[in-house]
């Protein structure tokens, strides 16, 4: 009997190894590494008007139990619309606001218990007039904006898991996670209240759940179970609730589920204990939570505006235009060019052929999703995404573009990569890291308000400043301006500068020790792998 029990335990452990990638310690260490790093470099406040409106919706949910918000003073027409009941409602997706509610509650609890502990926050300078004329609490916003620190750290660890599912070596998976967390604007976006980080995490989680659990060459050994299909569909639906533009990816994910179903062999079912849906039911199982989330969004719109298809934009924001200017701007413009704000994307595009040879369906999913989103955003008059770091509306594509590097990184490690591609890879990695260090040094809203004040004195109109110069002029680009613009938005520096309690400074010291410990741990793991190889 004991032998039979031990045999069952071994089978379950072997099955678990197939369901989840190994080296959970590495994934957890990556999560803690980025959590500590992003906490040390966080701004501690919501600077963007988009994030402020998302926060106000969360605040209304937490305190009043409804979705109505107070518009930004002086910006009554921005980011909100009057609903059928006469109240104002945010036009941004509800997902980020719902996720902020527990962080809002935590912030309120801290304010009530230790009001003097965060008093130094009120002494930090702020350029935004819509804050200075509004009664608000910085401490609650500090905890609310920490949501994106947590979310981006989870995305880095999840990207490592995706690399493991695609049979990358441990060191390659770590490298991909480090590149996303340190060499892309994901680092800068972890410092504010935009909804892109959460939408990215949920979209990547959906993709990870759809990946085959293990492979041998190009044949699937273990395929999707009903639970994984439901989770993938739910994550994709929640991502759409967070940012409506994620709906552009839905057809390609459905295609991936259908093609995975067609490629399965009857023998595949004998090796998995997770209950498998029938071949023709897999797309239906995947689509059920998607439809549920779509129903929630339609009801949410109807309850606010009386029209299930009205998100609140009411044709007041963007409209379709010829995509050529947007495509150029999203690629190489000083204010919004993806290749300038994340040069590593150049190497990602060069790595596509190698990745496609080994993972054809995954490569086609990523390529189709990226191309459609790029063209769709470029064909909008608001392709630039407003005042922000780089091409905000393309940020959700970054982890998927980095996945295309897996095969080239493996070839580079084994010295099989072409010399020219290897040099380009090294150069783009170094340049991307340098760019991100520059970008996290400043605050794009402080910079843009200060630069606008300068340009206004020269007789330049707001229309020219916001619709042209901030996108196309190097003199208005954060890439050059942040090089000399003083650090204005880092919680750690302001805690020292404005005499925060020593207890808070000690907390930052502990976070730094956690960061150093995770760094040493990851280094030892990689060294151990080299010795084993």
Domain boundaries, the chain: 46-114+138-314+336-441
- Whether 48 and 72 have beta carbons less than 8 Å apart is answered as no
Share of the chain above pLDDT 90, in %: 54
Per-residue pLDDT band for 112 (boundaries 50, 70, 90) equals confident
What average pLDDT does the segment 496-520 reach? 91
Asked whether residue 392 carries a pLDDT value surpassing 70, the answer given is yes
Which has the closest alpha carbon to 46: 109, 113, 92, 115?
92
What digits encode the pLDDT tens for the residues 82-95? 888 889 999 899 99
Q: How far apart are CA 226 and CA 230, in angstroms?
A: 6
What digits encode the pLDDT tens for the residues 256-282? 999 876 655 444 433 444 555 556 788
- Whether 144 and 66 have beta carbons less than 8 Å apart is answered as no
Asked whether residue 6 carries a pLDDT value surpassing 70, the answer given is no
Give the per-residue pLDDT at 213: 64
Q: How many CA atoms lie within 13 A of 522 on its CB side?
A: 25
Burial status of residue 392 (CB atoms within 10 A of its CB: 0-12, 13-18, 19 or more):
buried
Which has the closest alpha carbon to 479: 344, 352, 348, 338?
338
Asked whether residue 96 carries a pLDDT value surpassing 60, the answer given is yes
Asked whether residue 348 carries a pLDDT value surpassing 60, the answer given is yes
The residue that leads in pLDDT, 429 or 115, is: 429
How distant is the alpha carbon of residue 30 from its chain centre? 16
Q: How many CA atoms lie within 13 A of 459 on its CB side?
A: 0
Positive or negative, the CA dihedral 486, 435, 390, 51 is negative
Give the per-residue pLDDT at 532: 59
In angstroms, what is the C-alpha Rg of the chain? 24
């Amino acid at each position: 009997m004991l032998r039979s029990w031990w045999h069952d335990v071994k089978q379950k452990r072997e099955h678990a190894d197939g369901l989840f990638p190994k080296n959970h310690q590495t994934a957890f260490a990556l999560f803690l590494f980025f959590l500590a790093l992003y906490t040390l470099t966080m701004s501690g406040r919501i600077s963007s008007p988009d994030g402020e409106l998302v926060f106000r919706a969360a605040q209304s949910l937490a305190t009043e139990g409804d979705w109505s918000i107070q518009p930004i003073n002086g910006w009554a027409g921005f980011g909100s619309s009057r609903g059928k009941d006469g109240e104002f409602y945010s036009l941004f997706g509800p997902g980020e606001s719902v996720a902020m509610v527990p962080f809002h509650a935590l912030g309120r609890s801290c304010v009530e218990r230790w009001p003097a502990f965060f008093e130094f926050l009120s002494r930090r300078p702020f350029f935004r007039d819509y804050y200075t004329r509004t009664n608000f609490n910085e401490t609650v916003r500090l905890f609310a904006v920490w949501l994106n620190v947590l979310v981006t750290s989870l995305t880095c660890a999840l990207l490592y898991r995706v690399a493991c599912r695609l049979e990358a070596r441990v060191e390659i998976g770590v490298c991909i996670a480090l590149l996303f967390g340190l060499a892309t604007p994901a680092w800068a976006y972890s410092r504010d209240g935009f909804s892109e980080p959460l939408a990215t995490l949920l979209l990547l989680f959906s993709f990870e759940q759809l990946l085959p659990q293990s492979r041998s060459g190009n044949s699937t050994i273990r395929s999707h179970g009903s639970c994984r299909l439901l989770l993938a569909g739910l994550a994709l639906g929640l991502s759409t609730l967070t940012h409506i533009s994620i709906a552009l990816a839905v057809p390609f994910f459905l295609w991936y589920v259908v093609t995975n179903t067609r490629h399965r062999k009857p023998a595949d079912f004998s090796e998995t204990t997770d209950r498998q849906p029938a071949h023709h039911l897999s797309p239906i199982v995947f689509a059920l939570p998607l439809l549920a989330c779509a129903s929630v969004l339609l009801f949410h719109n109807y309850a606010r505006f009386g029209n299930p298809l009205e998100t609140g934009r009411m044709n007041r924001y963007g409209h379709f235009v010829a995509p050529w200017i947007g495509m150029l701007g999203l690629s190489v413009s000083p204010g919004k060019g993806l290749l300038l704000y994340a040069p590593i994307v150049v190497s990602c595009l060069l790595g596509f052929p190698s990745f496609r040879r080994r993972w054809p369906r995954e490569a086609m999913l990523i390529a189709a999703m990226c191309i459609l989103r790029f063209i769709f955003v470029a064909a909008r008059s608001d392709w630039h995404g407003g005042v922000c770091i780089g091409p905000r509306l393309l940020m959700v594509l970054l982890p998927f573009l980095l996945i295309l590097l897996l095969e080239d990184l493996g070839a580079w490690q084994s010295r099989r990569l072409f010399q020219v591609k290897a040099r380009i890879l090294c150069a783009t990695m170094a340049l991307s890291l340098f760019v991100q260090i520059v970008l996290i040094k400043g605050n794009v809203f402080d910079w843009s308000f200060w630069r606008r004040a300068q340009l206004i004195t020269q007789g330049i109109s707001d229309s020219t400043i916001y619709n042209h110069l901030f996108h196309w002029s190097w003199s208005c680009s954060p890439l050059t301006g942040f090089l000399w613009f003083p650090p204005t938005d880092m919680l750690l520096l302001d805690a020292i500068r404005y005499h925060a309690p020593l207890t808070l400074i000690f907390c930052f010291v502990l976070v730094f020790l956690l960061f150093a410990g995770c760094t040493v741990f990851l280094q030892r793991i990689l060294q151990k792998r080299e010795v084993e190889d």
